Amino acid sequence: MLAGSTKRSPRAVRRLLLAPLCLAGALAWAQTTTAPAPSRLDSRLDSRLEHLREVGRFAPAKALPELRELEAQARAAGLRTKTDFLFQFGLAKLSIGLKQEAYALGEELYAYGRAQKDNRAMAKGLLAKSYSTYDLNRLADSHRYAWEAERLADLSTDVPLQVTSAIASAQSHGEEGNFPPALAKMQEAVAIARRHNDPVTLVIALDSLANLYSQMKEYDRGFEALDEAFKLAEKSASPGRQATLKSTEFILASSTNQPQRGLRALLAALALQRQIDADSDIVYSLVNLSDSYLKEHNYSRTIDYGNQAIEAARRINDESSVATARINIGQAYMGMGRLAEGKRNFEAGLKHYEESENKPELQGVLIEYGAVLERAGDLQGAVKAYHRERALSNELFEKQRQKAIWELQEKYETDKKQRQIELLSRENLVKSTEIDNRRLQQRVWWLLALVFALSSIVVTLLYRKVRQANAQLEVKNLELKQQSSRDPLTALYNRRHFQEFMRTHMQVEKRGSGTSGEEIVGALFLLDIDHFKKVNDTYGHAAGDLVLKMIAENLREILRETDMIVRWGGEEFLAFLPAIPRSGVEEIARRLLVGITAQTIHYQGHAITVNVSIGFAPFPLSPGEHPLPWERAVNLVDMALYLAKAHGRNRAYGVRGFANFAQTSMEDIEQDLERAWRSGFVDLSIVLGSNHEAGAEAAH
């Protein structure tokens, strides 16, 4: 697991860039540009601050005590000196994990700039707030502050500040996945740095551009930007700048499947960082080295670098990196067969993500945990991890769905108000016409009949338009009702519609027999796409959406029009077949497995195929005298699905019935379906996918 996230995300890249380079190199140069002549006292203070900027660029813990000594003197200095001190003081605190204190200094600097009516001070205050809220996981606030900082920086004469704010603005767009404006802003930052011929600022901009190209998967352009940055950095003889560029080379090499190049770059970066005691950067390099050796199955080095990372991270209060290192160490121990020790370390790291409330990252860590446990043979632990991830996935999916409904409702209300305004305008037009008619009646009596006729025509036309508007409103209401019961991406029914249907659905204990005398039953099928996250990570979310649409289309083709097909969660689908011969349930599962695997999606020159895992059962299920409620039946099918996941994927596990039920209970079966199956209390059937041996296995 890489530093900063479950993968090398824009978040991790941004933190590496902003701290060492942007707060030091560019801002140091800003001190020498179009500033007013400082007092002699301010000049001496500026010299000390410039020295501390060089120290704090990579070792903020060393610079912070001296900054505290200068605080009283700097707060009494002139506008420019005080502004730069508050900004540098806040970033030093942020670099050692004092996020709230750093945010408070950003607030103070912005308020000071407003009082002085100084765009430069306000822009720096907003940048400080953007960096702090970013580390506090308040991304929406961080992006808003960055964009406003860029607007104010462009009104100032501080060119390096304009470059820095343009980079922050571009990174904010990139974090939202909005790459066209992100690239435009980043290229603008490079262009400004070139025009003013400043190598330090240009290195910063080129390094940021290389990282953005990595996010966009345009790796050749990323390497081109990085090569130019390396040539400029070599002239400066700065170990810190070269270390930062080596870290970027590691990102690009890892993304282009060049592990040895990435490892060499990371080791070189660590050596340079240790020369200058760059504490926070050392932590990131150690964590990433631990992850790199983990991928090579070199578990002893994984543990060694992981322990070094924990020790270094604790010195700077970086709990996120401690957690990441713990997860890497846990995976290494599990790879060595030391399962208990590995789980203890992984759970210790996982605890940080749970406490940080960063649910998207927590979801990724849980998926990784389940996969590691599955490889280690702890299938029960893997199922529990997958269940935790699935619950979190459903929660996030429900929030996204609710947001979409709110947006749709808001649009509907806006359209409704617009129609009301149009109707009022027409009513006013009618009233105006009536007044004109009265005047005409008073002046010209012989035009009365004609005016009356015209008025009647106008009223008739308006009446028809009102009726048309009401008819359109009724159609819109029907559309809104339809949209509230359908998933917007796949056009399948959503979970809420299925729940409402099942609450009113009359279960029939015996559905009768078909023409051949065979028993007719209902059936539930729950499908989950195997390795769906890998599709999103490799090809992007647009490819993932195409996969979801393909699954929906195949379900419509394989099943009947009378069957209810539901998008149950993020990558889960539910099918309820109200009437089917009992012997045909397993055949339906086989057709679903084979039919979906046979489909290929062509996306940007790639051929994508996916498998699914399935849990299924006839419905209703009757373990005793009374049938199970539909909610418990779906839960049982979900447990069968996770058995299919844990036992190899691309297969279907079906609950056919129960045996010896007097010796157990439904609660015990739901606690551990696999144990109940192996104890003979549950009768399962197994259907293998197309890349397995054909046929269904009876499981007793």
Residue 620 has pLDDT above 70, yes or no: yes
407 burial via Cβ count (<10 Å: 0-12, 13-18, 19+)? exposed
- Percentage of the chain beyond pLDDT 70 is 84
Q: What's the confidence (pLDDT) of residue 466?
A: 66
Distances (CA, A) of 97 to 3, 136, 205, 320, 432: 15, 10, 25, 10, 69
pLDDT at 519 over 80: yes
pLDDT of residue 532: 93
Write out 597-645 in H/E/C secondary structure: HCCCEEECCEEECCCEEEEEEEECCCCCCCCCCHHHHHHHHHHHHHHHH
Nearest-angstrom CA–CA distance, 548 and 535 = 11
Contact 457, 471 (CB under 8 A): no
pLDDT band at 372 (very low <50, low <70, confident <90, very high): confident
Contact 31, 50 (CB under 8 A): yes
Q: Is 310's pLDDT higher than 80?
A: yes
Distances (CA, A) of 198 to 30, 136, 228, 248, 320: 11, 33, 14, 21, 35
Average pLDDT, the chain: 82
Tell me the pLDDT band of 665, cut-offs 50, 70 and 90: confident
Q: Which amino acid is at 298?
A: N
- Is the per-residue pLDDT at 330 higher than 50? yes
- Type of residue found at 384: K
123/113 Cα distance (integer angstroms): 8
| pLDDT at 56 > cutoff 80 | no
Cα separation, 667 vs 625, in Å, equals 16
The residues carrying an active-site annotation are 571
Whole-angstrom Cα distance, residue 219 to residue 580?
52
Q: For residue 493, what pLDDT is reported?
A: 92
- CB-based contacts of 94, cutoff 8 Å, min separation 6: 19, 102, 128, 131, 132, 135
Give CA torsion, residues 133, 136, 138, 141, to 10 deg: -10
Query: In the block, which residue shows the tokens 């670099």?
Result: 95
The confidence score (pLDDT) of residue 390 equals: 83
Q: Label residue 481 by pLDDT band (50, 70, 90).
A: low
**pLDDT at residue 413, rounded to an integer:** 73
What span, in angstroms and rounded, lies between the C-alpha atoms of 317 and 109?
A: 25
**Res. 279 pLDDT band, cuts 50 70 90:** confident
Amino acid at 303: I
**Secondary structure (H, E, C), 21-50:** HHHHHHHHHHCCCCCCCCCHHHHHHHHHHH
Q: Is the dihedral of CA 468, 469, 470, 473 positive or negative?
A: positive
Instruction: Determine the pLDDT at residue 482.
Output: 62
**pLDDT at residue 22 above 50?**
no
Question: What integer pLDDT is reported at residue 10 of this predicted model?
Answer: 30
169 Cβ neighbours under 8 A, 6+ residues apart: 146, 147, 149, 150, 185
Task: Tell me the pLDDT tens digit for each residue of 375-387.
Answer: 888 888 888 887 8
DSSP 505-553: ----S---B-TTSPBEEEEEEEEEETTHHHHHHHH-HHHHHHHHHHHHH
Predicted confidence band of residue 517 (pLDDT cuts 50, 70, 90): low
Q: What is the pLDDT of residue 399?
A: 64
The enclosing H or E element of 655 equals strand 651-658
Q: What is the pLDDT of residue 74?
A: 85
pLDDT above 70: residue 227: yes
Q: Is 580 helix (H, G, I), strand (E, B) or coil?
A: strand
Average pLDDT over residues 482-503: 86
Q: What is the token pair recorded at 688?
A: 């293998």
Q: Return the amino acid letter for 99.
A: K
Query: Average pLDDT, stretch 545-572?
Result: 91
Q: Which of 172-176, 363-367, 446-450 has the highest mean pLDDT?
A: 172-176
- Higher per-residue confidence, 231 vs 455: 231
pLDDT tens-place string over residues 586-608: 999 999 999 999 999 999 999 99
Span 625-658, pLDDT tens digits: 788 889 889 999 999 999 999 999 999 999 988 8
For residues 321 and 15, the answer to whether their CB atoms sit within 8 Å is no
In one letter, which amino acid is 108? E
Q: For residue 546, what are the contacts with CB-CB under 8 A and spacing of at least 6?
A: 601, 603, 608
Q: What percent of the chain has pLDDT over 90?
A: 38
Strand order in the sheet with 682-688: 493-494, 564-567, 572-581, 520-529, 612-619, 651-658, 682-688, 696-699
User: For 148-160, how does the pLDDT look when each residue is reduced to its tens digit (9 = 90+)?
Assistant: 999 999 998 888 8
* Cα 552-558-563 angle, rounded to 5 deg: 80
11 pLDDT higher than 50: no
User: What average pLDDT does the segment 72-92 reach?
Assistant: 88
pLDDT score recorded for residue 404: 56
- In this predicted structure, what is the pLDDT of residue 700? 39
Provide mean pLDDT across the span 434-447.
Answer: 73
Task: Give the model's confidence band at 473: pLDDT under 50 very low, under 70 low, under 90 confident, else very high.
Answer: low
pLDDT at 480: 60
Dist. CA 262–CA 245, nearest whole Å: 12
What does the block give as tokens for 400?
A: 């996204």
**Which tokens sit at 86?**
């508050």
Instruction: Classify each residue of 653-671 as buried b or exposed e, where b means 16 or more C-beta atoms within 10 Å of its C-beta.
Output: bbbbebeebeebebeebee
The predicted model scores a pTM of 0.53
Name residues whose C-beta falls within 8 Å of residue 56's C-beta, 6 or more positions apart in sequence: 23, 24, 62, 63, 64, 67, 88, 91, 92, 95
Q: What is the pLDDT of residue 121?
A: 93
